[in-house]
Amino acid sequence: MRAMVVHENNEDISVMRLEEVELPPPGEREVRVRVRAASTQFPDILMIQKKYQYQPELPYIPGTEFAGDIIDVGPGVSDWKVGDAVVAGMLGGGGLAEEVNVHEGALRRKPTPLTYGQACSFRSAYLTAQVALIRRADLQAGETLLVHGAAGGVGLAAVEVGKMLGATVIATGSSDEKLKIVEKYGADHLINYGTDFKNGFRLKVKELTDQNGADVIYDPVGGDVFDESIRCIAWNGRLLVIGFTSGRIPQAPVNMPLIKGFSIVGVRAGEYGRRDPEKGRENIAMVDQWAEEGKINPYVCAEIPLENAHEALRMIQNREVVGRVVVVM
């Protein structure tokens, strides 16, 4: 079978190369999945560059989330059969390949309303939004939610979940074209910080909130966006640290949370579930239910063939992605 393989860590993502790989038969409680689509995400780039908090052992096959069909089952598998459509998440990767052996415990059924491209790319984004907004921020109906990087996968998910929870959503993005899609996902107000930031997006946020500021700020960007966010957050607000796609990890002047009475809250959805397995299972079940009931509509902006997987990662690097870009086999 063909797979994208990383043999060395490098700033240049072209070290990921298409190779022929042999898989052993599925082992005890493993199934073999014919991959139909695999999600690509910013952490995939960071892992290649050895900049992520989790680092797979070399060599490895990237792709932590994928969807496909079971084509073989190993000894001891009782809950799955050949032909089942499944989604899987594997911390060590493996999804950027035509086939992969997966422990049955990592599998979940593909939500019926979703395509393979949507199914492979929805869980981590919506789980991040769910843990951030429900578990960590306790977002309430009627509150104002400011979502940065709203056109990205985790941002667009936060817009949908925020509206589902009854919040007024202010969404920021880097272009009017991207924000048109965000608006279709329910955002009440749009701010293009590519043009508006020079005047301070905080001024627009304060204007939209009668000078009160946003109750909850969802920030996967960091850098200057974080710095500006602490100036437009409401009293008793919650500033959610999701990630740092800007490339700069900001440092907060701690007098600001003291004076303005807000909290800076870290969000790691996967770690939340590992620390509290029972709530982790509840979180995943909630997200799966949203998908099965058609309450969410994951946006896939492009489907890229496996042999061109570098293009998907470069789209992420160049900030050309709205929602998710997926690799298809």
pLDDT at 195 over 80: no
Q: What is the mean pLDDT of the segment spanning 102-125?
A: 93
- Quick check: is 265 in a domain? yes
Same domain, 6 and 32: yes
Can you tell me the mean pLDDT for 36-49?
Answer: 92
Are residues 88 and 131 located together in one domain of the fold? Answer: no
Do 212 and 183 meet the contact criterion of CB atoms below 8 Å apart?
Answer: no
Residue 194 has pLDDT above 80, yes or no: no
Residues 141 and 258: their CA atoms lie apart, in Å, by 26
Please give the pLDDT value at position 158: 98
Q: Is 287 inside a domain boundary?
A: no
Across 162-173, average pLDDT: 96
Q: Do 179 and 160 belong to one domain?
A: yes
Given a cut of 70, whether residue 317 has pLDDT beyond it is yes
Query: Are 29 and 107 members of one domain?
Result: yes
User: Rg (Cα) of the chain, in Å, rounded?
Assistant: 20
Tell me whether residue 290 is in a domain: no
Report the pLDDT averaged over residues 179-186.
94
User: Whose structure tokens read 């109906």?
Assistant: 141
Q: Is pLDDT larger for residue 174 or for residue 253?
A: 253
Residue 288 lies in a domain: no
DSSP string, 26-62: P-TTEEEEEEEEEE--HHHHHHHTT-SSS-PPSSB--
Nearest CA among 256, 229, 255 for reference residue 240: 229
Looking at the structure, tell me whether residues 189 and 172 fall in a common domain: yes
Rounded to whole angstroms, the Cα distance separating 230 from 41 reads: 27
Query: What percentage of the chain carries pLDDT values higher than 90?
Result: 82
Q: At what angle do helices 176-184 and 153-164 cross, to 10 degrees?
A: 40
Could you tell me if 120 and 65 are in contact, meaning their C-beta atoms sit under 8 angstroms apart?
Answer: yes
pLDDT at residue 65 in the model: 92
Average pLDDT estimate for 259-283? 94
Kindly state the average pLDDT of the residues 273-280.
94
Domain assignment present for 281: no
Read off the pLDDT of each residue in 301-315 and give the average, rounded to a whole number. 95
Residue 27: what pLDDT? Answer: 95
Residues 132 and 262 in one domain: yes
State how far the Cα of 307 lies from the Cα of 92, in Å rounded to an integer: 21
pLDDT, position 197: 54
DSSP per residue, 97-131: BSEEEEEGGGEEEPPTTS-HHHHTTSHHHHHHHHI
Q: What pLDDT is stored for residue 49 in this prediction?
A: 93
One domain for residues 142 and 231: yes
On whether both 148 and 263 belong to a single domain, the answer is yes
**Total domains in the fold of the chain:** 2
Same domain assignment for residues 113 and 162: no
pLDDT recorded at residue 166: 97
Q: Which domain holds residue 73?
A: 2-122+298-328
Separation between Cα atoms, residue 27 and residue 318, nearest integer Å = 40
Pair 118, 236 in one domain: no
Residue 287 has pLDDT above 80, yes or no: yes
Q: Is residue 293 domain-resident?
A: no
CATH number of the domain within which 67 lies: 3.90.180.10
In a domain, 232, yes or no: yes
- Mean per-residue pLDDT over the chain, rounded: 93
Pair (91, 69) in one structural domain? yes
Task: Give me the pLDDT at residue 155, please.
Answer: 95
Residue 75 domain flag: yes
pLDDT of residue 260: 93
Q: What's the CATH number where 222 sits?
A: 3.40.50.720
Write the CA distances from 124 to 64, 66, 71, 143, 263, integer angstroms.
10, 11, 25, 24, 24
Q: Of 224, 252, 271, at which residue does a domain stop?
A: 271
Percentage of residues of the chain with pLDDT beyond 70: 98
pLDDT at 196: 52
Average pLDDT over residues 14-40: 95
Encode pLDDT of 196-255 as tens digits. 555 578 899 999 999 999 999 999 999 999 999 999 999 999 999 999 888 899 999 999
Pair (117, 131) in one structural domain: no
